[in-house]
Chain A
Amino acid sequence: GQQVMQIPQYQHVQEGEDFTTYCNSSTTLSNIQWYKQRPGGHPVFLIQLVKSGEVKKQKRLTFQFGEAKKNSSLHITATQTTDVGTYFCAGRVFNDYKLSFGAGTTVTVRA
């Protein structure tokens, strides 16, 4: 079945630094979504990417979808303490409501 891999599992970042988390699917995706789960909370939808090579920005967050629609990345610049949490990518194949979640990247920030 479809598998979505995400690396790194943990990211310890100095406040103000940048980091990237990567997501790879074993199959071509129709779209990919990103969610953030704060410690003790539940996942919250951030964004969806649909088009090959698509790039979207949300303030300090930049999301990319690969040309082959099998990989994606989330890049955060100038990390802040509010960025703490686990970021999940979730891929969807065509004609299916289901999402396959990656393992998540848990981000901690050193002040």
Chain B
Amino acid sequence: GAVVSQHPSRVICKSGTSVKIECRSLDFQATTMFWYRQFPKQSLMLMATSNEGSKATYEQGVEKDKFLINHASLTLSTLTVTSAHPEDSSFYICSATFSDRAPTYEQYFGPGTRLTVT
């Protein structure tokens, strides 16, 4: 159980275009979803925390107008990279936790999305 999917797994887009990444919890209702960015051979950098039906909470230094997060349901969160530029190229990975995992609230990670902006 506790499977998280991400789509697409890879995407290549042109500079200036927008890209949407979906994160779904397949067999549970996610209390909270998280979006991370991971650079090659580096750690996970938390971008934002999102709860269903409310605005995402962005980490310091993350532009909320550039990285739009929508958490429309308990099983789906989307990250839209708007007006993408080459420096946005990265590995974006989502995770989810749910109330049944209290008090641990361990996070279940999706497989990630490799974004390349040309």
Contacts and interface: CB of A to CB of B under 8 A. Distances in A.
Nearest to B41: A106
Given A42-B109, A42-B110, A97 B49 contact: yes
A39 B89 CA distance: 19
Contacts of B109: 35, 42-44
A33 B44 CA distance: 14
A103 interface: yes
A92 B32 CA distance: 15
B42 interface: yes
Nearest to A102: B43
B104 A97 contact: no
A99 interface: yes
Contacts of B49: 97-98
Contacts of A92: 105
A63 to B, nearest CB: 14
B105 A88 contact: no
Contacts of B45: 101
A82 to B, nearest CB: 19
B13 interface: no
Interface of A: 1, 6, 31, 33, 35, 41-45, 48, 50, 88, 92, 97-104, 106
Interface of B: 32, 34, 41-46, 49, 60, 93, 95, 97, 103-112
